[in-house]
């Protein structure tokens, strides 16, 4: 796989980091995650609806053509899918929307038992209705989420999604929050176009998955790439190294962390989320950051591969 680069500097552009073939669609490597559009459950109030819609429209104006969402991204008065539908219909032909299924939440937001394979169709159809589409571009099976101790057989769940693809409700299948062995298990059932796991500068437990997905031309899509920690490596680790690289590029530490993930390979996509227009521009601008070998070595040393 190869990438292309846009050197335009007039405004941040989502094509600055190049592109990747996601299934049968070409997407810019900088995308958008919709989870924060509504505000988070612990926030004192939901995000302003008009601001959320403006952020979505601005993202598309800046070249974002890959949006990650889920029907279970909602608060009592906000739904990420509804905001996307309202803001972006009629959808641009180039736009790819990725959704997730598996976890269940009640209308009040309470966690419910993980979906059985025979319940996935209802979750897929819910996403289709909320987004106002007749099919879904990509559906990720969210696994090992901690919402249910015994979600059942991954192979059976992936097989159920493959049946829905044959029925025309899904175009492509991905998996989320999995191990390398589980990816191998899923690939034995059906082609997989993307893996979405937590990963970042201080969360590198999935370096093996980054390698495995690259070997199979599968997109690796980190979430929480700007924060997170693992194996005793705190989120604050490496602040001096990150700050020094950021200063050298006139960037923010968050931009450096985000750009670092993109340097992990041409198959790595970014889906930073925000409800703030200024943060959106910063996130997209991070795709243009290029690090020297010395800078990459300095950043890699913050949390060496485990």
Peptide bond between residue 124 and the one before it cis (omega within 30 degrees of 0): no
Peptide bond between residue 90 and the one before it cis (omega within 30 degrees of 0): yes
Of the residues 73, 91, 114, 199, only one is catalytic, namely: 73
Residue 267: pLDDT over 90:
yes
Question: What is the greatest pairwise CA distance in the chain?
Answer: 53
Contact criterion met (CB below 8 Å) for 280 and 11: no
> pLDDT of 123-161, one tens digit each?
999 999 999 999 999 999 999 765 555 688 999 999 999
Whole-number pLDDT of residue 3: 39
Any idea what DSSP says for residue 89?
P
- CA–CA gap between residue 289 and residue 16 (Å, rounded): 9
Selection from 289, 288, 285, 284 nearest residue 33 by Cα: 284
Among the residue ranges 16-20, 24-28, 231-235, the one predicted with the least confidence is: 231-235
Percent with pLDDT over 70 in the chain: 89
What's the chain's average pLDDT?
90
Q: Is 91 a catalytic residue?
A: no
Q: Which domains does the chain have, with CATH numbers?
A: 19-234+264-288 (3.20.20.100)
> pLDDT of 23-67, one tens digit each?
999 999 999 999 999 987 777 788 899 999 999 999 999 999 999
């Amino acid at each position: 796989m190869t990438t292309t680069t846009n050197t335009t500097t007039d405004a941040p552009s989502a094509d600055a980091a190049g592109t990747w073939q996601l299934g049968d669609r070409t997407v810019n490597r900088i995308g958008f995650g919709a989870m924060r559009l509504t505000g988070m459950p612990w926030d004192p109030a939901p995000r302003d609806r008009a601001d959320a819609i403006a952020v979505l429209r601005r993202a598309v104006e800046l070249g974002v053509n890959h949006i990650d969402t889920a029907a279970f991204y909602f608060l009592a008065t906000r739904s990420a899918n509804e905001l996307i539908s309202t803001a972006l219909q009629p959808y641009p032909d180039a736009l790819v929307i990725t959704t997730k299924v598996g976890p269940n939440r009640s209308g009040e937001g309470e966690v419910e038992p993980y979906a059985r394979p025979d319940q996935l169709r209802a979750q897929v159809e819910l996403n289709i209705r909320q987004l106002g589409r007749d099919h879904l571009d990509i559906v990720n099976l969210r696994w090992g989420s901690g919402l249910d101790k015994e979600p059942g057989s991954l192979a059976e769940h992936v097989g159920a999604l493959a049946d829905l693809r044959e029925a025309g409700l899904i175009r492509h299948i991905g998996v989320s929050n999995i191990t390398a062995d589980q990816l191998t298990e899923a690939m034995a059932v059906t082609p997989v176009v993307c893996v979405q796991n937590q990963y970042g500068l201080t969360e590198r437990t999935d370096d093996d998955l980054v390698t495995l997905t690259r070997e199979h031309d599968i997109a690796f899509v980190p979430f929480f790439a700007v924060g997170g920690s693992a194996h005793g490596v705190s989120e604050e680790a490496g602040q001096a190294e990150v700050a020094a690289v950021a200063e050298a590029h006139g960037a923010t530490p968050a931009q450096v962390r985000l750009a670092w993930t993109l340097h992990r390979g041409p198959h790595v996509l970014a889906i930073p989320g925000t409800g703030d227009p200024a943060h959106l521009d910063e996130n997209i601008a991070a795709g243009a950051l290029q690090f020297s070998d010395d800078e990459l070595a300095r950043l890699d040393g913050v949390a060496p591969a485990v």
